[in-house]
Amino acid sequence: MFSQAEMCFLAEYAKTMAPVAKALNVLQGDVKVSMGHHLPTIAVLISKLENVRLSLKYCQLLVDALLGGVEKRFGEMMSDPELIAAAILQPMFKTTWTTDDVLQRGLGYIKEHLPSYDEPPLQPNDSSSTSDEDDFFSGLKHTHTQETTKQLDTYLACTSEGMDIFTPCPAVARLSLKLNTGLPASAACERLFSTAGLLFTPRRGRIHSQNLENQLLLKLNKAFFDFRKTATHR
């Protein structure tokens, strides 16, 4: 039987580690995650840990250790203009996740690296219809439909969080695509091996490789199958 103090400690431990676990799930995700998720996730984690520390009795030292570890590992990244710009150009976050001083670094980076003109859409490569005259006047097609700084203001003022927010802001869209690369992670591969380990038990030591592969595919894709309907048809 646990004592009352031990129960309180376990409750505080779970409360402290909950935001850490959620932050790890975000950063190790393989769907809808990009470089722009990095700094906002760390910033929210720090804020949650600082808020939860005020109500703790037993796990304050644990929070201090976690905050110290986050600062040691990610402190320099939190002031990186390129990473800040990537977060700003993520429609989900924009300028709501940090302080004005940090945002100014990212906005300065964005204004410095925005394309100076709007590139025309790609056209099919048809050399037969191209003439020297068309090539000579092709530069006129790079029209300044909207100043890039105004495009940035339009993007920041929009309340939408979908990718359609970039439609009136092609220059901002191109820079966002350049900065918001996918985060490299081995989480999907680790889940695959973990599931395979659950299937390949000592009692199944002589299972055929093809049978193991079929069971693994069924296990990982069970959300796409309706086994009850299959059993009914049989």
H-helix or E-strand containing 83? helix 81-88
Interaxial angle between packed helices 4-27 and 60-74, expressed in degrees from 0 to 180 and rounded to the nearest 10: 20
Asked if residue 136 is part of any domain, the answer here is no
Q: Give the model confidence (pLDDT) of 9-32 as tens digits.
A: 999 999 999 999 999 988 887 777
**Is 10 a domain residue?**
yes
CA dist., res. 114 & res. 40, Å (int):
22
40, 64, 80: which is the final residue of a domain?
A: 80
- Is residue 151 included in any domain, yes or no? no
Residue 179 lies in a domain: no
Answer yes or no: is 115 within a domain. no
- Residue 216 burial by Cβ neighbours in a 10 Å radius (0-12, 13-18, 19+): middle
Residue 213 has a CB neighbour count (10 Å cut-off) of 12
Residue 119 lies in a domain: no
CA 32 to chain centre: 6
pTM: 0.69
Query: How wide is the angle at C-alpha 176 spanned by C-alphas 174 and 179, nearest 5°?
Result: 110
Assess if residue 27 is contained within a domain.
yes
Q: Render pLDDT for 151-195 as a digit per residue (tens, 0 to 9).
A: 899 999 988 888 888 888 888 999 999 998 776 767 778 888 888
Tens digit of each residue's pLDDT (9 = 90 or more) over 42-52: 999 999 999 99
Structural domain for 206, as ranges: 187-226
Q: What's the rounded mean pLDDT across residues 217-232? A: 73
Q: Is residue 110 part of a domain?
A: no
Q: Which of 80, 99, 131 is the C-terminal boundary of a domain?
A: 80
Exposed, middle or buried, 215 (CB in 10 Å: 0-12/13-18/19+)? middle
Show which of 36, 53, 80 is a domain's final residue: 80
Total domains in the chain come to 2
- The pLDDT assigned to 207 comes to 85
